[in-house]
Structure 1
Amino acid sequence: MDIPKEGDYIAIQSYKHDGHLHRTWKETMVLKTSENEIIGCNDHTLVTESDGRKWVTREPALVYFHKHYWFNIITMIRENGVSYYCNLATPYVLDKEALKYIDYDLDVKVFPDGEKRLLDVDEYALHSKKWSYSPEIDQILHKNVDTLIEWINEGKGPFSKAYVDMWMKRYKELSNRV
């Protein structure tokens, strides 16, 4: 696939370690692409779960994907403040169909007040055993949890107010053009 340009829409597909499709976001507007990252925004986007259930996102969300980090970051812009949902996952790949990654269950949620929670530890343990995650994957994921916590604590990248303000402004500009 050609690298998407600013203003293009792409689908996002999340898979599980065994290869089954986990979740699909129908349309995400691309705000920036570079050699290593894609930043996008979705707002009232149709999401389809692996069991066929469908729902629509409730608020604008910036999405951040990187080719070298084993996590992606969803920045949810809510009335009560900005919160984050960070998936521990493989670096993304892009093909003609969608931006794709493997979701490894562990998640870090950051609340508007700055509280952080590591989520789905039980699910990770269950799937690790079920699908035989290698010791290397386990090590990579735990190292990336540490990196993610460091980014959060330092207000780096998606965790800075300036980032959120800049990319939401750009999303609104591009949306008004369409």
Structure 2
Amino acid sequence: MDVRSERAAPGSRVLLRATKYDGTAHWIQPFRVVADDGNLLVTSYRARTPIYTSRGEFRSPYDSVVYFWRDRWYNVFRLSRPGCPTALWYCNVTTPPTFDGCQIGYVDLDLDVKVYPTGCIELLDEDEFEAHREKYGYPDDLVARARAAAEEVAQLARERRFPFSCGPEPMRNRSSHRTL
């Protein structure tokens, strides 16, 4: 079965099963499908619904709309408080996702990009990426793809391109943290 050709029906429920590079479970989260055009799978998640992580159960205070492109090395969570506008975008650098009709799967590659509507863009977890690069033996091409994905998603945010197209102020890099 070619999992890239499977499409999810709007309104259906799907389960995300993310792993680390060695195959260990990292993140399990339920979503409701908003749309699926065969490449971009858009899902949603309600605040306070349990998420199961390698560190235990977590309940996000945010409602989320999540964008999974089947041909990109990242996904984007648009987070908002219930009844409020976008609080931030959280972008996970991952392998391109698979979808089998019921489950979304990908390998989490540690790097994350956080984008605020004010324009602050932060690269997160570089230390974890470097530690896992050594521990799991990330191949050079995977390292290059992960770094390129972090830069690509940051560039989309800087240019206010989809899905970073809302916010109260012009996007600009403003941060005391490592920015892209």
C-alpha distance in structure 2 between counterparts of 1:73 and 1:41, whole Å: 11
Runs of 5+ unmatched residues, structure 1: 163-178
| Residues 55/146 of structure 1: CA separation in 2 closer, same or farther (3 Å cut) | closer
C-alpha distance in structure 2 between counterparts of 1:7 and 1:160, whole Å: 24
Shift >2 Å, 4+ stretches: 78-82
Q: In structure 2, what is the equivalent of residue 5 of structure 1?
A: 9
C-alpha distance in structure 1 between counterparts of 2:85 and 2:9, whole Å: 32
Q: In structure 1, what is the equivalent of residue 132 of structure 2?
A: 127
Q: Pick from 137, 146, 151: which aligns with 1:146?
A: 151
Q: How does 1:4-153 map to 2 (within 5 A)?
A: 4-25=8-29, 27-44=30-47, 45-51=49-55, 53-78=56-81, 79=84, 81-153=86-158
1:161 counterpart SS class:
coil
C-alpha distance in structure 1 between counterparts of 2:35 and 2:16, whole Å: 15
Percent identity for Structure 1 against Structure 2: 27
2:78–2:86 contact (8 Å) kept in structure 1: no
Normalised to the residue count of structure 1, the TM-score between the two structures is: 0.84
| Residues 80/41 of structure 1: CA separation in 2 closer, same or farther (3 Å cut) | closer
Q: What is the CA-CA distance between 1:67 and the residue it aligns to? A: 1.2
| Residues 111/76 of structure 1: CA separation in 2 closer, same or farther (3 Å cut) | same
Q: What is the CA-CA distance between 1:55 and the residue it aligns to? A: 2.2
1:80–1:112 contact (8 Å) kept in structure 2: no
1:125 counterpart SS class:
helix
Deviations 1:39-68 (A, max 9, x none): 0110132101124x2122212111000111
- 1:17 alignment partner AA: Y
C-alpha distance in structure 2 between counterparts of 1:18 and 1:97, whole Å: 23
Q: Name the Cα RMSD after superposition.
A: 1.8
Normalised to the residue count of structure 2, the TM-score between the two structures is: 0.83
2:7–2:38 contact (8 Å) kept in structure 1: no
Q: How many pairs align?
A: 160
2:72 counterpart SS class:
coil
